Structure formats: structure tokens, C-alpha cells
């Protein structure tokens, strides 16, 4: 059975990567829609064989469409997902999947009623070869049990990609921790084998962009579960002199060793990204992980056909998203008297 999918909501460039990876895994892209003509035109240029739909209702009512894929503006994703599930379709969106806990609760309720999937594509784990390899090594026991994780997700605000106005509107993008740090929270739960965690402390700030009063360019979180602890830092402060959009790092401390992943670059070192460093009782090891297969989309399509959970569990998606929303809600904002 070939999974037929439609791309609905094309505001973020992540839609291109998700659609491409789904097609490579064997799914068929049959339609696309966005209310912004510019977004729609860009998508059609990238996928010229796709049908451009003028009617979003027709896509949802088309019983031949199995899956809705979306990178709509952050605050629109939950509503699209609810609509998809109520039309007996599964839903895949880029992170974050929600901007409020009320959205989270509604989506979870509709999921329970319909049995359809609402999956958030955490691309920093699912789509990064070095991170996938780190997961495989840990499952093999390479560093024992992971007891601490530190994750860093810096970004460049200005550069090759023009940032849309909604990115600077708090209600629309959902805050820096809910947005960027959802990647690191997903990884904390996954790598430490934690079902849930608590937000010990969280901080947000706008250090460099006072012209955008609702924007946050820095955020950090302390996490604790019954198995491990973690520290996460995200920002929009990558300097112009960096060779890539952000020097993304992951540190995993195990009971028998540790792993460092340099996802996007190796400063003054090896060219390119996907660098993994492993230290255990036997010595030090470097692995260039760029050729590591990425199984997520293949497994995800199998899950849709078989109604299994091999790519990612729905409960994990909900919990990672809930913790990101809680971190954002509980964060203390620097230079303000109240929490965000």
C-alpha cells in the first residue's frame, strides 16, 4: 500500500525536507495548499509534479489522501492536525506541534477519539545521521546507561533565510523554549530512556533584539527525571562569521563513557557536519557519521500501514511537547518582574 500525502501549510522551509524524505521512503505526494501564494509557488517549484489545490477543504475530504504533512505557522498546526484526524487522516508536522497547552489537550483528546496519529517530526534527531548513530551506539551499550545530557541548539537569526514577521510574534511562534528546545527535550527523553521529566528551572531572555519586544533570543532549561538530569540551551545568537547557521552540539554522559556529537560543524577541525566522538574504557574514537542511514520516514510509513509505533511512540511525542510547553510557561524572563 502506497501512502498518499498532501502538504498543507508551507510557511516553514522544513516542509521541503519532510516532503522529500517521505517521497524517498516511498510515499506519493498528491497535493499541496497554502493561503500564501509565495509559499505555494516555492513549493511547486521544488516539486513541479504536485497538484496545486485551491481548496483546502477538498484535500481534507479526499478519502484517497492518507496523510497530511504540515509546516504551517506554529499556532496553526494543532488546528490542522485536529481537522486531519477528524477526516480519518494521520498528521505529521515539523516542530513545535503546539503553541499552548490548550492546543495540546485538544489534540490529545481527538487522538483518543479517532485513533489517528499526530506526529511531530523532531528533525534534529530523526534527520541527523550523527544523532541517529549515537542512538544506535547507546542501544548497543557503548557508554552504559546515559545519566546526563547536555544539548545546545544555537541558530542564526539573519542570513540566507529571510525570517517572516510571525516569528517575532509571541502568540504565533510560541516562545524559544517551546520552539527550538523541543528538539533537545525530545532527545533527553530518548537518550536517557525517560518516560517523563520535570522542569527544574527555565530562563528566557531577549539579549540582542530589542526591536522585537515579543521575541526571545536565548533560553535554557534544567531537566530531571528518575533516571537522569539534563541541561539545554538554545539561542538566536550565532555570529555572522560562523560557517553554518548554528554550532549544534550534543553531549551524552554514560556510566561507562561519553559521546559528543558535533552536528553541523567541527570548529577549526574536520570539514562538514555529522561528527561523533566516543570515549569508553577502551580508548578514544572518532566516527564520521554522514553515511548513517535515516530510518525514520520508512518506519513511519510502515507504522501508518500497520498501525504500529516503530518510528516513534505517540506518547513520547505528546510528552516531549508537553514538557516544552511547561518549560516555556514556567520560564523566568531576565529583566522582567514576572514569568513568561
Distance, C-alpha 245 to centroid of its chain = 16
**Quick one: pLDDT band at residue 177, thresholds 50, 70, 90?**
very high
Domain range summary for the chain, segments of one domain joined by +: 4-121, 125-294+327-333
Classified by CATH at the fold level, domain 125-294+327-333 comes out as Dihydrodipicolinate Reductase; domain 2 (3.30.360)
pTM: 0.95
pLDDT surpasses 50 at 304: yes
pLDDT surpasses 60 at 313: yes
State how far the Cα of 275 lies from the Cα of 262, in Å rounded to an integer: 5
Report helix, strand and coil shares of the chain as percent, to nearest 5.
35, 25, 40
Instruction: Please list the residues that pair with 251 across neighbouring strands.
Output: 150, 260
Is 3.40.50.720 the CATH number for 4-121? yes
Query: Tens digit of pLDDT for each residue in 111-160?
Result: 999 999 999 999 999 999 999 999 999 999 999 999 999 999 999 997 65
pLDDT surpasses 50 at 338: no
Mean pLDDT score of the chain = 96
pLDDT surpasses 90 at 279: yes
pLDDT at 158: 73
pLDDT at 336: 52
- Cell digits of residue 338: 514576572
Query: Tens digit of pLDDT for each residue in 65-81?
Result: 999 999 999 999 999 99
Query: Tens digit of pLDDT for each residue in 28-55?
Result: 999 999 999 999 999 999 999 998 888 9
Of 181, 184, 188, give the one whose Cα is nearest residue 203. 181
Amino acid at each position: 500500500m502506497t501512502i498518499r500525502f498532501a502538504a498543507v501549510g508551507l510557511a516553514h522551509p522544513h516542509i521541503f525536507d519532510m516532503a522529500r524524505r517521505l517521497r524517498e521512503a516511498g510515499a506519493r505526494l498528491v497535493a499541496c495548499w497554502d493561503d500564501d501564494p509565495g509559499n505555494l509557488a516555492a513549493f511547486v517549484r521544488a516539486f513541479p509534479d504536485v497538484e496545486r489545490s485551491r481548496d483546502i477543504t477538498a484535500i481534507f475530504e479526499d478519502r484517497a489522501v492518507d496523510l497530511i504533512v504540515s509546516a504551517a505557522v506554529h499556532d496553526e498546526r494543532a488546528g490542522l492536525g485536529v481537522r486531519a484526524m477528524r477526516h480519518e487522516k494521520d498528521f505529521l508536522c515539523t516542530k513545535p506541534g503546539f503553541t499552548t497547552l490548550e492546543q495540546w489537550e485538544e489534540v490529545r483528546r481527538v487522538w483518543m477519539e479517532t485513533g489517528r496519529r499526530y506526529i511531530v517530526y523532531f528533525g534534529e534527531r530523526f534527520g541527523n545521521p550523527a544523532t541517529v548513530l549515537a542512538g544506535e551506539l547507546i542501544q548497543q551499550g557503548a557508554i552504559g546507561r546515559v545519566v546526563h545530557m547536555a544539548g545546545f541548539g544555537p541558530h542564526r537569526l539573519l542570513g540566507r533565510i529571510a525570517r517572516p514577521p510571525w516569528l517575532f510574534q509571541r502568540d504565533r511562534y510560541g516562545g524559544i523554549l517551546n520552539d527550538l528546545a523541543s528538539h533537545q527535550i525530545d532527545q533527553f527523553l530518548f537518550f536517557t530512556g525517560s518516560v517523563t521529566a520535570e522542569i527544574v528551572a527555565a530562563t528566557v531572555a531577549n539579549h540582542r533584539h530589542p526591536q522585537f519586544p515579543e521575541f526571545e533570543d536565548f533560553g535554557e532549561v534544567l531537566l530531571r527525571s528518575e533516571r537522569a538530569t539534563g541541561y539545554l540551551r538554545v539561542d538566536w545568537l550565532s555570529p555572522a562569521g560562523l560557517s553554518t547557521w548554528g554550532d549544534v552540539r550534543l553531549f551524552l554522559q554514560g556510566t561507562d563513557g561519553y559521546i559528543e556529537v558535533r552536528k553541523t560543524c567541527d570548529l577549526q577541525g574536520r570539514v562538514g557536519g555529522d561528527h561523533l566522538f566516543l570515549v569508553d574504557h577502551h580508548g578514544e574514537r572518532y566516527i564520521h557519521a554522514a553515511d548513517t542511514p535515516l530510518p525514520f520516514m520508512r518506519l513511519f510509513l510502515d507504522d501508518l500501514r500497520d498501525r504500529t509505533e516503530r518510528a516513534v511512540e505517540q506518547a513520547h511525542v505528546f510528552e516531549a511537547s508537553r514538557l516544552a510547553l511547561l518549560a516555556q510557561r514556567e520560564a523566568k524572563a531576565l529583566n522582567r518582574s514576572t514569568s513568561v
